Amino acid sequence: MSHRIPEETVSASPPGQPPRMLIIQSECSELRSMEPVLSGAAPSLLDRLGRNLLAMRPRAVWSDGDGFGTPDIMRVRSLAELHAADLAAVDLVISDSHLGSASAFDVIAFLRGVRPDVTLVMLGLVEDAEIAAEAIRAGASDFLAMADGTLSTLPVLLEKAIAHQRVRAENERLHRELSRSLVELAIKNRQLETMIERLEHTARTDELTQLSNRRWLGMMLDGAWAESARHGFPLAFLMLDLDGFKAINDRVGHQRGDEILAMTARVIRANCREIDCVARYGGDEFCVLMPHTRATEAAAAARRILDEVGHMVRCLPPAERGLGVSVGVAQVELSEPADVETLVRHADEALYAAKSSGRGRVMLRGRRDTFLGLDDLASHEPMAVSRLKPSA
């Protein structure tokens, strides 16, 4: 079984030492022996070949000051010897495509398993050219078909193959760096999106109640009013005030008072629709912007909130049970406001009327400074009376 050599242990030749070539060629090869051909090549050619190999080493194991270019040559004669060889310091492997009982693909598979980074050049006869493309697809850096088994041009062909391998390796490195950069960019973008989402949530959310804040409510009001005015859609606005909250807050303390505010906010939110904008207006006042809502629907929602807050209060300790809620409702078809500011003012006036009439009530703003209770609204819009009943 082959074991891949960890990348951090691959040292190629030691720094300051010549590059090392491994030749894999059996004694019965039809190609001439490679060592004499390589050893007898012109020194300048070998030096250039060696320097190309040096340039392919990891930067950690060579420097431009290395003065050794001529390669050292090792040889193994079979696949078994290849399995036993120390490949950690090899810069280039040149292999015959025939090793007795082993084939080129056996060599490629083994080397790519233990040294996927090393340059591997396969040699064969002209009639072996048909397997060249398959060998390269399997992992060989190049396949050289030698006419009549002659190796006289081997050093030049090796130099060409190594140059191609250098270009390929550089392209792969750039691709890895690009992929890594794209991944890092995607992570940074996602982090930025998350940060923006958090900032947007913080900018529009009341920290204590997690409802919308007054700033966000104002923006939603402007948009809802513009839509209602343009298309004639119904629109309602509710203002709610907690009755008796100040006395309870003074009695139980501000921390408990904040908890009661947060509980009330959850009750209000739970009894509104997803499209409604539920906001803390300030202190113990809350608002609900209800797009596409007629007066009877808004009154039904207000009544539902009133009942559910009452149920919540009954579950509180005795010292906290003096809490109640009053609701003022304004609706564009009912009070006919001229603008969004008037709509808000109408709801505020209706809230004042509800508190003045005994608290714990719902009042709706009508035309010409008139106010309607739930019973009055039933006669004002008789077809919708059934919708005013609290939901089950």
Q: For residue 11, which of 19, 1, 3 has the smallest C-alpha distance?
A: 19
CA 360 to CA 282: how far, in whole Å? Answer: 19
Nearest-5° angle of CA 322, CA 327, CA 332?
A: 175
> Quick check: 358 and 248 in contact, CB under 8 A?
no
- The beta-strand segments (E) located in the chain are 20-24, 72-76, 92-96, 98-99, 102-103, 119-125, 142-146, 235-243, 277-282, 285-291, 324-331, 362-365, 371-372
Residue 284 annotated in active site: yes
H or E, element range at 195: helix 154-204
Q: What is the DSSP letter of 391?
A: P
CA 67 to each of CA 22, 47, 54, 58, 160: distance values in angstroms, whole numbers, following the listed order: 21, 10, 10, 17, 22
Contact partners, residue 120, CB within 8 Å, separation at least 6: 93, 95, 107, 108, 111, 112, 139, 140, 141
Q: Which of 66, 128, 241, 284 is catalytic?
A: 284
CA 189 to CA 191: how far, in whole Å? Answer: 5
Q: For residue 241, which of 275, 302, 287 has the smallest C-alpha distance?
A: 287
For the chain, state the CA radius of gyration: 42
Helix axes 340-356, 214-231, angle to 10 degrees: 110
Q: Burial letters for 86-102: b for 16+ Cβ neighbours within 10 Å, e otherwise? A: ebebbbbbbbbbbbeeb
Q: Which two tokens stand for residue 180?
A: 């890594």
Just list the catalytic residues.
Answer: 284
